[in-house]
A and B are shown apart, each in its own frame.
Chain A
Amino acid sequence: MGEMIEFSHVTKQFADNTAVADLNLAIRAGELFVLVGTSGSGKTTTLKMINRLVAPTSGTITFDGKGLNAFNLRRLRWDIGYVLQQIALFPTMTVGQNIALIPEMKKWPRTKVKQAVDEGLRSVGLDPKTYRDRLPSELSGGEQQRIGILRALVARPPVILMDEPFSALDPLSRTQLQDLVLELHARLGMTIVFVTHDMNEAMRLGDRIAVMKEGHLLQVGTPTEIAEAPANTFVADFFASAQRSPLSVAVASLAPYGTAVGRGEEAGAASGESDLQSAPGLSTGAPVVSGQTTLSELLPELAESNHVTVKAQEGNFDLSASAVLRYLADNEKEQSK
Chain B
Amino acid sequence: MKDVWQTFLDQRGALVQQLGQHIELSLLALLVAVVIAVPLAIWAQPHKRAANFLLQLTGILQTIPSLAVLGLLIPLVGIGNPPTLIALVIYALLPIFQNTYVGLDEIDPAYKEAAEAFGMSRWRKLVKVELPLAMPVIIGGIRTAMVLIIGTATLGAFIGAGGLGTMIMTGINANIPAMTFIGALAAALLALAFSAGLSVLQKLRWRQVLLVLGVVVVGFGGYGVYQAVAAPKDEIVIAGKMGSEPSVLINMYKLLIQQADPSVQVTLKPNFGQTSFLYSAVQNDKIDLYPEFTGTVVTSLVKPRKAQNAAIAAGNDSYPIAKSLLNKEGLTLLTPMKYNNTYAVVVTQAFAKAHNIKTISDLARERGLIAGFDVEFNNRQDGYKGLQKLYGLSLNVKTMSPDLRYSVIHSGKIQVTDGYSTDSQIRQYKLLALQDDKKLFPIYQGAPLMKASFAAKHPALVKALNKLGGQITETQMQEMNYEVNVQKRSAASVAKAFLLKQGLLKEAK
> Contact residues of A with B, CB < 8 Å?
51, 53, 73-78, 80, 82, 84, 86-88, 90-93, 101-102, 105, 161
Tell me if B118 and A102 are in contact (CB < 8 A).
yes
In the bound complex, how far is the Cα of B117 from the Cα of A105, in angstroms?
13
Tell me if A92 and B119 are in contact (CB < 8 A).
no
B contact residues, range: 20 to 34
- Between A and B, 29 residue pairs with Cβ closer than 8 Å are A51-B117, A73-B119, A74-B119, A74-B120, A78-B119, A80-B117, A82-B117, A82-B118, A84-B110, A84-B113, A86-B110, A88-B111, A90-B111, A90-B114, A90-B133, A91-B133, A92-B129, A92-B133, A92-B135, A92-B206, A93-B128, A93-B132, A101-B120, A101-B128, A102-B118, A102-B119, A105-B118, A105-B124, A161-B117
Residues of A within 8 A of B124 (CB): 105
Tell me if B119 and A105 are in contact (CB < 8 A).
yes
Residues of B within 8 A of A74 (CB): 119-121
Residues of B within 8 A of A75 (CB): 119
How far apart are A195's CB and chain B's nearest CB, in angstroms? Answer: 14
Residues of A within 8 A of B128 (CB): 90, 93, 101
Residues of A within 8 A of B119 (CB): 73-78, 102, 105
How far apart are A81's CB and chain B's nearest CB, in angstroms? Answer: 9
In the bound complex, how far is the Cα of B118 from the Cα of A77, in angstroms?
6
Residues of B within 8 A of A88 (CB): 108, 110-111, 113-114
Tell me if B133 and A77 are in contact (CB < 8 A).
no
Residues of A within 8 A of B116 (CB): 53, 77
A-B CB proximity, top 7 nearest:
A77-B119, A86-B110, A92-B132, A74-B119, A82-B117, A88-B114, A88-B110
How far apart are A78's CB and chain B's nearest CB, in angstroms? Answer: 5
- Bits for B197-211, please: 1 = Cβ < 8 Å to A, else 0: 000000001100000
In the bound complex, how far is the Cα of B124 from the Cα of A76, in angstroms?
17
In the bound complex, how far is the Cα of B111 from the Cα of A82, in angstroms?
12
> Contact residues of B with A, CB < 8 Å?
108, 110-111, 113-121, 124, 128-129, 132-133, 135, 205-206
Residues of A within 8 A of B110 (CB): 84, 86-88
Residues of B within 8 A of A105 (CB): 118-120, 124
Residues of B within 8 A of A101 (CB): 118, 120, 128
Partner among A77, A87, A90, A93 whose Cβ is within 8 Å of the Cβ of B117: A77
Residues of A within 8 A of B113 (CB): 53, 84, 88
In the bound complex, how far is the Cα of B133 from the Cα of A76, in angstroms?
26
Residue of A whose beta carbon sits closest to that of B119: A77
In the bound complex, how far is the Cα of B279 from the Cα of A150, in angstroms?
71
Residue of A whose beta carbon sits closest to that of B121: A74
Residues of B within 8 A of A87 (CB): 110
How far apart are B137's CB and chain A's nearest CB, in angstroms? Answer: 13
Tell me if A92 and B108 are in contact (CB < 8 A).
no
Residue of B whose beta carbon sits closest to that of A51: B117
Residues of B within 8 A of A73 (CB): 119
Residue of A whose beta carbon sits closest to that of B112: A88
Given A88-B108, A90-B115, A92-B133, 17 other A-B contacts at CB below 8 A? A53-B113, A53-B117, A73-B119, A74-B121, A77-B118, A78-B119, A82-B114, A84-B114, A84-B117, A86-B110, A87-B110, A88-B113, A90-B111, A92-B135, A92-B206, A105-B118, A105-B124
How far apart are B488's CB and chain A's nearest CB, in angstroms? Answer: 55
In the bound complex, how far is the Cα of B129 from the Cα of A76, in angstroms?
20
In the bound complex, how far is the Cα of B215 from the Cα of A260, in angstroms?
67
Residues of B within 8 A of A80 (CB): 117
How far apart are B449's CB and chain A's nearest CB, in angstroms? Answer: 59
In the bound complex, how far is the Cα of B120 from the Cα of A75, in angstroms?
10
Residue of B whose beta carbon sits closest to that of A86: B110
How far apart are B476's CB and chain A's nearest CB, in angstroms? Answer: 69
Residues of A within 8 A of B114 (CB): 82, 84, 88, 90
In the bound complex, how far is the Cα of B108 from the Cα of A92, in angstroms?
13
In the bound complex, how far is the Cα of B121 from the Cα of A102, in angstroms?
12
In the bound complex, how far is the Cα of B238 from the Cα of A53, in angstroms?
67
Residue of B whose beta carbon sits closest to that of A92: B132
Residue of A whose beta carbon sits closest to that of B131: A92
In the bound complex, how far is the Cα of B120 from the Cα of A88, in angstroms?
15
Residue of B whose beta carbon sits closest to that of A78: B119
Residues of A within 8 A of B206 (CB): 92
How far apart are B204's CB and chain A's nearest CB, in angstroms? Answer: 11
How far apart are A156's CB and chain B's nearest CB, in angstroms? Answer: 15
Residues of A within 8 A of B121 (CB): 74
Tell me if A86 and B108 are in contact (CB < 8 A).
yes
How far apart are B114's CB and chain A's nearest CB, in angstroms? Answer: 4
In the bound complex, how far is the Cα of B133 from the Cα of A74, in angstroms?
22
In the bound complex, how far is the Cα of B119 from the Cα of A32, in angstroms?
23
Tell me if B108 and A90 are in contact (CB < 8 A).
no
In the bound complex, how far is the Cα of B121 from the Cα of A73, in angstroms?
10
Tell me if B205 and A92 are in contact (CB < 8 A).
yes
In the bound complex, how far is the Cα of B35 from the Cα of A327, in angstroms?
67
Residue of A whose beta carbon sits closest to that of B207: A92
Residues of B within 8 A of A91 (CB): 133
How far apart are B24's CB and chain A's nearest CB, in angstroms? Answer: 32
Residue of A whose beta carbon sits closest to that of B120: A105
In the bound complex, how far is the Cα of B115 from the Cα of A78, in angstroms?
11
Residues of B within 8 A of A76 (CB): 119
How far apart are A196's CB and chain B's nearest CB, in angstroms? Answer: 18
In the bound complex, how far is the Cα of B132 from the Cα of A93, in angstroms?
9
Residue in A73, A74, A76 with the greatest tally of chain B CB atoms within 10 Å:
A74
Residue of B whose beta carbon sits closest to that of A85: B110
How far apart are B27's CB and chain A's nearest CB, in angstroms? Answer: 26
Residue of A whose beta carbon sits closest to that of B129: A90
In the bound complex, how far is the Cα of B265 from the Cα of A18, in angstroms?
81
Residues of A within 8 A of B205 (CB): 92
How far apart are A317's CB and chain B's nearest CB, in angstroms? Answer: 40
How far apart are A86's CB and chain B's nearest CB, in angstroms? Answer: 4
Residue of A whose beta carbon sits closest to that of B134: A92
How far apart are A297's CB and chain B's nearest CB, in angstroms? Answer: 24
Residues of B within 8 A of A82 (CB): 114, 117-118
How far apart are A152's CB and chain B's nearest CB, in angstroms? Answer: 9
Residue of A whose beta carbon sits closest to that of B110: A86
Residues of A within 8 A of B111 (CB): 88, 90
How far apart are B123's CB and chain A's nearest CB, in angstroms? Answer: 12
How far apart are A330's CB and chain B's nearest CB, in angstroms? Answer: 43
Residues of B within 8 A of A161 (CB): 117
How far apart are B433's CB and chain A's nearest CB, in angstroms? Answer: 72
How far apart are B108's CB and chain A's nearest CB, in angstroms? Answer: 7
Residues of B within 8 A of A53 (CB): 113, 116-117
In the bound complex, how far is the Cα of B116 from the Cα of A76, in angstroms?
12
How far apart are B316's CB and chain A's nearest CB, in angstroms? Answer: 77
In the bound complex, how far is the Cα of B116 from the Cα of A161, in angstroms?
14
